[in-house]
Amino acid sequence: MYSDLETIKAQHDLRSIARSELGNPRTSTARYDVYRCPFHNEHHGYSLQVWADGFKCYGAKCGVTGDVITWHEMRYHMSKAEAIRFLRGDQIPGVKSKRRPAPAPARPVFLSEPPPAEWQRFARAVVDFADEQLWETAPGEKALGYLNARGIHDHTIQAAQLGYIPARDDRERTYGRVLFDDWRKPDGNPVRIACGIVIPHFADDHLWALRVRRAVGDPKYMGVAGGSKALYWSDTIQPGLPVLVVEGEFDALIAWQCAADLVSPVAIASASNADVNPYWFPKLMAAPRILARFDADAAGGKYLPKLAALSSCVVPCQVPAGKDVNEFYVMSEFRRDPIRCWLMEVS
Ligand SMILES: [Zn+2]
């Protein structure tokens, strides 16, 4: 058991985990990165230091410290056993994967129209495959545990038809899987699908895109080549309710899970999608109010003015704590009321 734990710790570079979860650090040295401490919801200073093998908050009243296992216990309300299981399922060392050549990112061309029927047919087959993997296999169970640990309930997972594509080896973990040999890109190469949690973008009776949230690697989210740009979760827009526009799919799903009667949440779903696809204008413009929750970083900062140019009822807003809806929900111990109070306040 002891050596098992040491192996798990050695295989996970906490610095890259923290970067993927907290974004770019405030400062960075050869040995550690510095952040605002998410554990005491720090607003002013930068008390958290993160090393490859541990973290510590130097805030006077906080002082949390630990290793990669503690990190997961504290951030995702996992027991120690759950954190170990979670990390054991994710065995590719972050450091090692950094040395591999980065996979060429699939760059879907975002058109205003849904993808061709053939693309959608294959993509639906991917959704079915991933659905089966998520609910009926052991690696899927782990992925389900991850989604639940982020506060996404089973019924929401089913409603969103989230799925899972396991990597069978390191190669697939890095380069993705070819599920259908006859599904080809315009250049003749087979379509590869990144391994991880599959998020289908259904809207208006079409499947517009598939995005995969990878367990490891950069970029964390990858699209499947050939998809178009949907307004994620826009099928649930209710006439008369304010629309809440957020960046991530999971944020939209959590807002929907907690407050579908208060707002209609949608996600732009990719930080690089700074353009508002005109196809979706009518859906957005019909809303009495558009609440927009974006990061102040480049992508969110670009999207907001474009949205504001379309409608005079855009209200920028931020979550009261944490970096996004999902993190706020986790910090609120998965209670609906803090999310609902926040949304009532801003709308
Ligand atoms: Zn702290």
Quote the ligand 1 centre to 55 CA distance (angstroms).
Answer: 10
- pLDDT of res. 44: 85
Locate CATH 3.90.580.10 in the chain.
2-99
Q: Is 80 exceeded by the pLDDT of residue 265? A: yes
CATH number of this structure's domain 234-346, picked from the four choices 3.40.1360.10, 2.70.50.30, 1.20.1250.20, 3.40.640.10: 3.40.1360.10
> CATH homologous superfamily for 2-99?
Zinc finger, CHC2-typedomain (3.90.580.10)
Quote the ligand 1 centre to 178 CA distance (angstroms).
Answer: 43
Quote the ligand 1 centre to 85 CA distance (angstroms).
Answer: 26
Q: Is 90 exceeded by the pLDDT of residue 139? A: yes
Quote the ligand 1 centre to 295 CA distance (angstroms).
Answer: 22
Binning pLDDT at 50, 70 and 90, where does residue 301 land? low
CB atoms within 10 A of CB 320: 15
φ, ψ at 15 (rounded to 5°):
-65, -45
Quote the ligand 1 centre to 44 CA distance (angstroms).
Answer: 11
Residues 6+ apart with CB under 8 A from 270: 211, 221, 223, 229
**Stretch 162-183: mean pLDDT:** 94
Burial class, 242, CB count within 10 angstroms (exposed 0-12 / middle 13-18 / buried 19+): buried
**Stretch 207-226: mean pLDDT:** 90
Quote the ligand 1 centre to 341 CA distance (angstroms).
Answer: 25
- pLDDT of res. 136: 95
- pLDDT of res. 24: 85
Sheet with 65-66: list strands edge to edge: 27-28, 32-35, 48-51, 54-57, 65-66
Quote the ligand 1 centre to 63 CA distance (angstroms).
Answer: 6
Q: 33-42, 65-74, 233-242, 303-312 — which is least confidently predicted?
A: 303-312
Binning pLDDT at 50, 70 and 90, where does residue 109 land? very low
Quote the ligand 1 centre to 235 CA distance (angstroms).
Answer: 40
- pLDDT of res. 85: 80
**Stretch 299-316: mean pLDDT:** 76
CATH number of this structure's domain 117-223, picked from the four choices 3.30.360.10, 3.90.980.10, 3.30.70.100, 3.40.50.1370: 3.90.980.10
In the structure, ligand 1 is a single-atom ion and the residues with CB under 5 Å from it are: 37, 39-40, 57, 59, 62
Quote the ligand 1 centre to 47 CA distance (angstroms).
Answer: 6
Q: Is 70 exceeded by the pLDDT of residue 310? A: yes
Locate CATH 3.90.980.10 in the chain.
117-223
Quote the ligand 1 centre to 215 CA distance (angstroms).
Answer: 26
Nearest 10 degrees: CA dihedral of 64, 66, 69, 73?
-10
Binning pLDDT at 50, 70 and 90, where does residue 105 land? very low
- Is 34 or 60 the better-scoring residue by pLDDT? 34
Best CA proximity match to 283, nearest among 247, 342, 232? 232
Structure tokens at 337: 């009321």
- pLDDT of res. 91: 39
Quote the ligand 1 centre to 96 CA distance (angstroms).
Answer: 30
Which three-class secondary structure state does DSSP give residue 249?
A: helix
Quote the ligand 1 centre to 342 CA distance (angstroms).
Answer: 23
**Stretch 93-110: mean pLDDT:** 36
Q: Is 60 exceeded by the pLDDT of residue 140? A: yes
